[in-house]
Structure 1
Amino acid sequence: MPEPVEPIPIAALQHWCYCPRQCLLIHAEQAFAENVHTLRGQAVHERVDQAGMDLRAGVRSARAVPLWCDRLGLVGKADVVEFSAAGTPYPVEYKHGRKGRAAKGLHDHLQLAAQALCLEEMTGQAVPLGAIYHASSHRRREVVISAELRVLVEHSVLAIRAALAAAMLPEPANDSRCRECSLIDLCQPAPLAARERQRALAAQLFLTDD
């Protein structure tokens, strides 16, 4: 009988896709800090964090739905799951910001795909589609739960488990992602990157041309 595995939060996949170092800081070292982006996100989630059910135009909407996938060892919560008259689940993930920033949202798509895989295992129904709801523009963007996204979920789960087992922080990104990250002061990407450059320059001092 296989050993039970520690479940990975669905949110960890989003963090991993955005920045592996951020993921390990949050999920291995339990580090967290607030900034304007996290506070805006909390404000957006105030209503959907309250469990409840609505029925409109034949579509049943459940808020704060607990999720799990035993096959992958995932746990989490969906902001909203809409159920059609046929019972097909349709996860909706709430995000602050505007719809126009969709090109930057692979990490959000990965989170939505993980929710879809959980719902498929839980309900026995296929989940081909989901949506990201952008609170600032009050518009949603539909996301196809593609084969590529499904594979990326599985690969990400394996990568996160390996990183957690290794108990070593990945190198900092030190790029444009860092400016919006609430953990920038804890992560210290710029000083760490500068130290690595100094080590590389120091090593080159002892190289000779033969």
Structure 2
Amino acid sequence: MEAADPIMLSALQHWSYCPRQCALIHVEQAFDENVFTMRGNAAHERVDDPGFETFEGVRAERALPVWSDRLGLIGKCDVVEFHPDGHIFPVEYKHGKKREKIHDDLQLAAQAMCLEEMTGKTITRGAIYHHGSRRRREVAITQELRDKVEDTVSAIRAMMDSGKLPPPVNDARCKECSLNEICQPQALTERAVRHSLLETLFEPEGT
């Protein structure tokens, strides 16, 4: 039996934000830039360059490739800190100011689970570095977050196997999405509403 294609770690963040966005990027290979993606690229500029630094005994690896054979995941960690006491601490860089976002935490947890499988060590915490405020937000890698990673991987795999694009959401998320022009959420949603109205227009009353 042929092995399934691995899922990129970034797909979990995309799926959590919007399943249709995830499908457009990771199935249709569609991508476009806007001010938000450009800010994200700027935030990642330094950590996209592989290498390492050591400070007070902590070795910080940049752009570290990671994977999980069990989950079928592959990708890179922006920064992984290896501390003298043996604990491992992944750090994901995001543009914008410090605030909690479940889709960012989900991606970080998936990175931690990959590192656990690769190293055999348990990882209980990581951090999101918010470039806009130059501050870290620590994230506990809880069982609840791990379960969400498993569920999200299953949902993405099912979507990829089906080959079908999820429907557009057409809500506040679309304003910040670089794929708005490709996705056409408003037009597709309006078309679906018109189709539904046409289907019910000639139905006899009381049915």
Q: What interval of TM-score do these two structures reach, taking the shorter chain for normalisation?
A: over 0.9
SS at match of 1:61: strand
- Which one of the candidate residues 184, 187, 192 is aligned to 2:188? 192
Aligned-pair CA distance for 1:53: 1.1
Q: Does 1:34 align with 2:30?
A: no
RMSD (Å) for aligned C-alpha atoms: 1.0
> Which structure 1 residue ranges, 4+ long, deviate > 6 Å from structure 2?
none
Aligned-pair CA distance for 1:174: 0.3
Task: Give distance in 2, aligned partners of 1:173 and 1:70.
Answer: 32
Task: Give distance in 2, aligned partners of 1:164 and 1:96.
Answer: 28
Q: Does 1:203 align with 2:203?
A: no
Match of 1:114 in 2: 110
- Which one of the candidate residues 156, 173, 190 is aligned to 1:177? 173
Please, which moves more after superposition, 69-78 or 195-204? 195-204
Please, which moves more after superposition, 185-194 or 82-91? 82-91
State the number of aligned residues.
206
TM-score (norm 2): 0.97
Matches of residues 34-113 of structure 1 in structure 2 within 5 Å?
Answer: 34-99=33-98, 101-102=99-100, 105-113=101-109
Task: Give distance in 2, aligned partners of 1:183 and 1:42.
Answer: 16
Question: Can you give the 5+ residue segments of structure 2 that lack an aligned partner in the other structure?
Answer: none
Q: Does 1:19 align with 2:18?
A: yes
Match of 2:150 in 1: 154
CA deviation map 1:113-134 (0-9, x unaligned): 0000000011111000000000
Aligned-pair CA distance for 1:86: 1.9
Aligned-pair CA distance for 1:208: 2.1
SS at match of 2:11: helix
Identity %: 58
Question: Can you give the 5+ residue segments of structure 1 that lack an aligned partner in the other structure?
Answer: none
Match of 1:128 in 2: 124
- Which one of the candidate residues 162, 181, 188 is aligned to 1:166? 162
